[in-house]
Amino acid sequence: MARDERSVTPQSEDFSAWYNEVVFRAELVDRGPVRGSMVIRPYGYRIWELLQADLDRRIKATGHQNAYFPLLIPQSYMEREAEHVEGFAPELFTVTHAGGKELEEPLVIRPTSETIIGEMMAKWISSHRDLPLLLNQWGNVLRWEMRPRMFLRTSEFLWQEGHTAHATAADATAETMLALGFYQDVAAEVAALATVPGEKTPRERFAGAERTFTIEGMMRDGRALQSGTSHFMGTNFAAAFGITFTGESGAAELCHTTSWGMSTRMIGGLIMTHGDDKGLVLPPALAPYQVVIVPIGRGEQAETTLSAATELAATLERAGIRAHVDGRPQLSPGFKFNDWEMRGVPIRLELGPRDLAAGTALMSRRLSYPQPDAAKRAVALDRAPDLVATELADFQAMLGQRAADFREQHTAVVNSWPEFVAAVAGGWALALHCGEEACEDEIKAETTATPRCIPLAGEPEQGTCIRCSKPSAYGKRVIFARAY
């Protein structure tokens, strides 16, 4: 059967093709000229700005201050923390020439900023009164990417990186969990994702960290996406960069540091969590346009409905609702409906001459759940701001519920190898594991699944490894899944 030219590959046929078509067709991105680079178009960038504004508010409300550090880092800085340089070496971009001459010391383009911020922290902290030092940076980083994928893995991406220094391990641990909480809350309240907070197993830790925590989201194909991470560094970076303070006793002590980040990858997460065969579905909190108004009519009527639509949009905007009028005269209403469905706009209002005469507009939602409900309903124009606001709040909650239900339905507690294999084929497996790397490798070789996290909420449990039957590690079940 020939497919409508405007439609995309169904998710069930090829999820990866679906994703690649949607990011371009929804005009979120374009390909950059350099391999692995991504141009974020205005529609995609607006989503990022909305996410950024929400997270920034949370970061500032808890006493952190934004600062900005240079993009170029002396190569020697990277080499000071052994695990850090080893972990990042394969991904580094290095600048060897400047001003037409070879540099005496090559410069690294930041893959992350622990080193340069560590250097500054050492300079700025001297007494216990300087602690805690709570910094955040919004910026870009570069990491060479062999298998690029828009938003998920691009050589350059946008993010925030929090960096903090504390007097005690307990304070730094509390900070690590506070930041993880920002991410879980942003994911749940704004992006409508149902993520699981947990701790990474040793091999999945950030290079140089003592403990790494993550929020993992389940995508519509059952794979996991790491959507934000928070790291407790212990004194590793403090020792490498000389970040010390004079304690109350007068003795010099090493600080305990943390770092934490959330990136444009999150946009990939919301595309793959909410999207369907018609394209993108955006949670209202992050939708550049929460409502699109399509005026309908020909000739003189077109002018009347267009001006009424413009007036309606202004009324909605005044009520804090992001509304857009699609007044493109050359396109049919049907084309516009498909276009805005592809671009994920939560609510559509149609305004034709008969609606206008009745003082109403026809409202339809991009998606309904759990009951599919394609019915349009009339809304009174004079009550539109209230009715639309209620509908948007309901839509936001509905998406969160749909994501949580999907995750629940595709997560299995498994106690045998065949159960494990079946579970990770289309979702997540909660399994006991021995914690040994060789055993993880075998599991990965056979199923491509890897340990995603040890859920914080997991109940204490001991037993034998799902794969090799040795005694289990971690004291809890581990989430295994195929991951992005």
Positions in 399-438 near Zn ion (CB under 5 A): 434
Contact region for Zn ion (CB under 5 A) — 214-222, 266-274, 415-423, 464-472? 464-472
Contact region for Zn ion (CB under 5 A) — 95-103, 185-193, 243-251, 463-471? 463-471
Q: Which is nearer to Zn ion, 223 or 467 (CB)?
A: 467
The least CB distance from residue 196 to Zn ion, in Å, is 22
Q: How many binding residues for Zn ion (CB under 5 A)? A: 5
3-class DSSP assignment, residue 275: coil
The least CB distance from residue 442 to Zn ion, in Å, is 8
Sign of the dihedral through C-alpha 396, 22, 14, 419: negative
Residue 468 in the binding site for Zn ion (CB under 5 A): yes
The least CB distance from residue 472 to Zn ion, in Å, is 8
For the purposes of burial, counting CB atoms within 10 Å of the CB of 71, is it exposed (0-12), middle (13-18) or buried (19 or more)? Answer: middle
Q: Which is nearer to Zn ion, 95 or 439 (CB)?
A: 439
Between helices 42-61 and 169-185, what is the axis angle to 10°?
140
Q: Which is nearer to Zn ion, 86 or 441 (CB)?
A: 441
The least CB distance from residue 466 to Zn ion, in Å, is 7
Residue 477 in the binding site for Zn ion (CB under 5 A): no
Separation of alpha carbons 421 and 406, rounded Å: 19
The least CB distance from residue 457 to Zn ion, in Å, is 23
Contact region for Zn ion (CB under 5 A) — 372-380, 394-402, 456-464, 466-474? 466-474
Residue 361 has phi, psi (to 5 degrees) of -135, 155
Q: Which is nearer to Zn ion, 121 or 478 (CB)?
A: 478
The least CB distance from residue 207 to Zn ion, in Å, is 24
3-class DSSP assignment, residue 141: strand
Residue 483 in the binding site for Zn ion (CB under 5 A): no
Q: Which is nearer to Zn ion, 339 or 440 (CB)?
A: 440
Separation of alpha carbons 181 and 197, rounded Å: 8
Tokens at residue 232, please?
């407790």
The least CB distance from residue 226 to Zn ion, in Å, is 22
Q: Give the pairing type, strands 244-246 and 252-254.
A: antiparallel
For residues 205 and 218, is the Cβ–Cβ distance under 8 A? no
For residues 419 and 447, is the Cβ–Cβ distance under 8 A? no
The least CB distance from residue 432 to Zn ion, in Å, is 9
Contact region for Zn ion (CB under 5 A) — 143-151, 181-189, 224-232, 459-467? 459-467
Q: Which is nearer to Zn ion, 302 or 468 (CB)?
A: 468
Q: Which is nearer to Zn ion, 202 or 327 (CB)?
A: 202
* Residue 126: alpha-carbon gap to chain centroid: 36
Q: Which is nearer to Zn ion, 422 or 468 (CB)?
A: 468
The least CB distance from residue 440 to Zn ion, in Å, is 8
Q: Which is nearer to Zn ion, 309 or 466 (CB)?
A: 466
Q: Where would I find the beta strands (DSSP E) of 143-278?
A: 156-166, 196-199, 211-218, 224-234, 244-246, 252-254, 256-263
For the purposes of burial, counting CB atoms within 10 Å of the CB of 26, is it exposed (0-12), middle (13-18) or buried (19 or more)? Answer: buried
The kind and range of the H/E element at 135 are strand 133-142
For residues 388 and 379, is the Cβ–Cβ distance under 8 A? yes
Task: Candidates 439, 444, 455, 483: give the one binding Zn ion (CB under 5 A).
Answer: 439
Among 69, 118, 74, 112, which residue's Cα sits nearest to residue 243?
118
Q: Which is nearer to Zn ion, 210 or 440 (CB)?
A: 440
Contact region for Zn ion (CB under 5 A) — 90-98, 238-246, 278-286, 465-473? 465-473
Q: Which is nearer to Zn ion, 306 or 434 (CB)?
A: 434
Between helices 42-61 and 265-274, what is the axis angle to 10°?
110
The least CB distance from residue 467 to Zn ion, in Å, is 4
Residue 112 has phi, psi (to 5 degrees) of 180, 165
In the sheet where 360-365 sits, what is the strand order?
323-325, 291-295, 347-351, 360-365, 377-380
Q: Which is nearer to Zn ion, 375 or 438 (CB)?
A: 438
Task: Candidates 163, 211, 348, 467: give the one binding Zn ion (CB under 5 A).
Answer: 467
Task: Candidates 465, 473, 479, 481: give the one binding Zn ion (CB under 5 A).
Answer: 465
For residues 233 and 259, is the Cβ–Cβ distance under 8 A? yes
The least CB distance from residue 429 to Zn ion, in Å, is 14
The least CB distance from residue 434 to Zn ion, in Å, is 3
In the complex, the residues that contact Zn ion under the rule CB under 5 A are 434, 439, 465, 467-468
